[in-house]
Structures are given as structure tokens and as C-alpha cells.
Amino acid sequence: MSIEPDITEFLARAAHGDAAAVDALIPKIYASLRQLARRQRAHEAAHTLETTALVHEAYLTLARQAGVEFTDRAHFYAYMGRVMRHLLIDRARRKNAQKRQAPDMTGEAAEGEVIDVLALDEALERLAALDPRLARVAELRLFAELSNPEIAEVVGVNTRTVERDWLKARTFLSGCLAAGD
């Protein structure tokens, strides 16, 4: 994600209640947030939310959070990636619940696509129960699409540890998803 280096300054000013910093920050990060949202949607086969709507929903979620502070852009994008992930998962769950209440005849493929999003979330939750750091690394890699050095900074470990953690997490998640658990 290419972004101007002064984002950290705007985030710090916004955290201290500077409304002008928030207004100046949004145009600087909007393109990057749209890119992140497009990538998030690529993981979601059912496409329950358009890219622009996902960015706006994520921003509204951020705006409703009081006292959220970010130390740098990596933390900001990690947070926004998590918000977008949860928005997509919540949307998929609602859609899945509606299908159970009022079945439509769209075929099994569409239903399977929604379950894939939910299966990934369930696999991440299972991983988090076993090893929270591995789950966090996977979440940052898959949903925030941070680089290994950025993940290392967010998690507080070195880059080599992130590489090993990602390998372990990917193996665990693949096993869960392949087994259909």
C-alpha cells in the first residue's frame, strides 16, 4: 500500500481530537482503503458488499469508536483490515441466516460460497484458541495484507518469526479448510 509518509502525523493529531487532521487524512488514505477493500472482497466469494460500501462501512465503524489510537500506518491498516473482515463476515452470516429462514432456489454453489467465508473465520477462531499470535499473523496477512516487516512491527516480533508463524498458520488453516471442519 503506497501512502504518503505523513499519515502517522495525521493519525496522531486525529487521536488527540484534531478534526482538521481527520478531514485531511481521509483523502490521503481513501485510495489505499479502497485497494484494501477490493482485496478483502477477493477473499469473499459471495461479494455481499461492494468495495465503496465496504470502505464507507469501515470508516463509519472507525468514526463510532471513541479513543482509538494508532501508533503508525501499519497499526491503522491492521485495524481497518480487521474491521473490514468482520463487516464481511457479519454480512455473510446474515445472508446465510436469511437463506435458512427463507430458502431460495439459487443453487448450492452460492450457499457454498458464503460458507467458505464463514469456514475461514471459524478456522481463524480455532487457531486463535490454540495460538493467538499465529491467528493474528494470519489475519494481518490475509485481511490487512501487511508485509512481513509490517506484521512484525504490529505483533512485536522479528520478521523471521513472522515468516515461521505464517507458515504454521497457513498449514493449520489449510488443514481446517480442506477437512471441511
Domain spans of the chain, in order of start = 7-179
Contacts of 83 (CB under 8 A, 6+ apart): 58, 61, 62
Would you say residue 113 has pLDDT above 70? no
| pLDDT-wise least confident of 100-109, 119-128, 149-158, 169-178 | 100-109
Of these ranges, 34-43, 90-99, 151-160, the one predicted with the greatest mean pLDDT is: 151-160
Would you say residue 65 has pLDDT above 80? no
Residue 103: predicted pLDDT: 39
Contacts of 89 (CB under 8 A, 6+ apart): 117, 118, 121
Would you say residue 153 has pLDDT above 80? yes
More confident call, 165 vs 1: 165
Of these ranges, 16-20, 95-99, 142-146, the one predicted with the greatest mean pLDDT is: 142-146
Class of residue 171 by CB neighbours under 10 A (exposed 0-12, middle 13-18, buried 19+): exposed
Per-residue pLDDT band at 2 (split at 50, 70, 90): very low
pTM for the predicted model, two decimal places: 0.57
More confident call, 1 vs 74: 74
DSSP the chain: ----TTHHHHHHHHHTT-HHHHHHHHHHHHHHHHHHHHHHHHH-TT--S-HHHHHHHHHHHHHH-TT---SSHHHHHHHHHHHHHHHHHHHHHHHHHHHHHS--SS-HHHHHHHHHHHHHHHHHHHHHHH-HHHHHHHHHHHTS---HHHHHHHHTS-HHHHHHHHHHHHHHHHHHHHHT-
